[in-house]
Amino acid sequence: MGKTLIRGGTVLSMDPNIGDLPRGDVLIEDDRIVDVQPQIDADAEVIDATGFIVIPGFVDTHRHTWETAIRGCAPNSTLDDYFVGVLDYYAPVYRPEDVYHSNLAGALECINAGITTLVDWSHINNTPEHPDAGIRGLQEAGIRAQYAYGSANTSLAKYWFYSGEVIPASDVKRIRDTYFSSDNGLLTMALATRGPGFTQDQVVTAEWNMARELGIPITLHAGMGRMAGRFAMVEQLDRLGLLGPDTTYIHCCYFSEHEWQRVKETGGTISIAAQVELQMGHGWAPVNKSYQFGLRPSLSVDVVTTVPGDLFTEMRAAFASERARVNAKCWEDNVEVPDTMLTARQMLEMATVNGAHVAGVEDRTGSLTPGKKADLVLLDARDINMVPVKDPVAAVTLSADVSNVDTVIINGVVRKRDGKLLADVARARDLVENSCEYLDDAAKAHKAAQDAAAA
Ligand SMILES: [Zn+2]
């Protein structure tokens, strides 16, 4: 790969030791960032970044990428509707190839939107061929990802709400041995668990122990919506003695103060899917609460069945809703708003360096720091929705959208250039459209068969 010099951009390094460079150069050698300075002279291939904003790639800390093939199927769903209309309706009929098609197209969608690291929460392992297919999709797209191995999803009754089904340890181990013998690759691994309330205590304990024996982190949805909000999942995990720094809690909308305290004390990490939470009834996106407890919250997309697949949306949904809550309280109390309101920079922090922290890869990505892997994005700040740039952080957080993502580099490899993905997008589109068509027919037939059996 050699050396590449990204020259003359506005650099938002998200590294406190480097800060923002109004005009800066980033030198990449092979897969790594080797220098970030106002001016670098190097014998290198040059990417002219004049008029561009250079940022670390975004990190999406939780997405069910397998749902790409059913994008937009549940626009008006609540979380309860989603369990029935997506998990119970579509998931049982997914074939391995549908997971592959979805993960390939979904990972390309991420790269197109400037997401260079993805936590793929893959609770679609209906057969042992399903995880291999999901991983293949991620590999082919070239994204950095944490593949989170989840349960099968062949029936709501079997896998959700006091389920007695443990994720099969032998297959999790097989996947760990086959694809993740090192934790330093472009792909890393986690266990996507359902947790207390969704499963019985012995399942929870078995799955937590499984992850810890294999040395992989744990990710679970917690404290959301009408049902899971009442499970007090953190209290239950605490009672089982399972809280730890290897665990990511997703949503966290209905944590008690004590649960927040316990997550903080035990070193847990937070993923907030703001648009989903606000729209589907999970609860408020708890960004302020996370910061109040000294945590470093991250952002996630969750489901493209119902929300857009980019982090610009997430930054703005979380920023607006959390400020709205403070503003509303101040209106009620008839007091001035505090000067501790969330800032645009905090949102960018959540979408980049905090995300890397939560995905367990802050040692290699999340900021433009010499020694880290070269995962970065050039946003075209000459575009009409971006000019004039008075404040580059505001430009990224509040003006930019996917159309401004000009260049995306992952692990030193250029994956998008001049606004175009360097991938066979037409093939990915055909594959995911074919799956969409199959899934609609198969789900309808599956439902009819179930209804007939019940009648
Ligand atoms: Zn989710």
Structural domains of the chain in order of their starting residue, each with its CATH number: 3-56+367-420 (2.30.40.10), 58-357 (3.20.20.140)
Q: Taking Cα atoms as reference points, which of 247, 252, 243 lies closest to residue 273?
A: 252
314 Cα to the center of ligand 1, angstroms: 14
Q: What is the pLDDT of residues 411-424, one digit of tens each?
A: 999 999 999 999 99
Q: What is the pLDDT of residues 166-200, one digit of tens each?
A: 999 999 999 999 999 899 999 999 999 999 999 99
Query: CB neighbours (10 Å) of residue 218?
Result: 23
439 Cα to the center of ligand 1, angstroms: 20
Is residue 279 pLDDT above 90, yes or no?
Answer: yes
Report the pLDDT value the prediction gives residue 227, as an integer from 0 to 100.
75
62 Cα to the center of ligand 1, angstroms: 6
Average pLDDT in the 325-348 region? 95
To which H or E segment does residue 416 belong?
strand 413-417
∠ at Cα 366 (59, 393), nearest 5°? 85
Is residue 63 pLDDT above 80, yes or no?
Answer: yes
Compute the distance between CA of residue 432 and CA of residue 98 in angstroms, rounded to an integer. 7
Compute the distance between CA of residue 111 and CA of residue 113 in angstroms, rounded to an integer. 5
Q: Taking Cα atoms as reference points, which of 199, 256, 251, 194 lies closest to residue 225?
A: 251
3-state secondary structure of 204: helix
Compute the distance between CA of residue 311 and CA of residue 276 in angstroms, rounded to an integer. 12
86 Cα to the center of ligand 1, angstroms: 12
More confident residue, 208 or 455: 208
Its pTM stands at: 0.98
pLDDT band at 274 (very low <50, low <70, confident <90, very high): very high
Report the pLDDT value the prediction gives residue 231, as an integer from 0 to 100.
86
32 Cα to the center of ligand 1, angstroms: 32
29 Cα to the center of ligand 1, angstroms: 36
429 Cα to the center of ligand 1, angstroms: 24
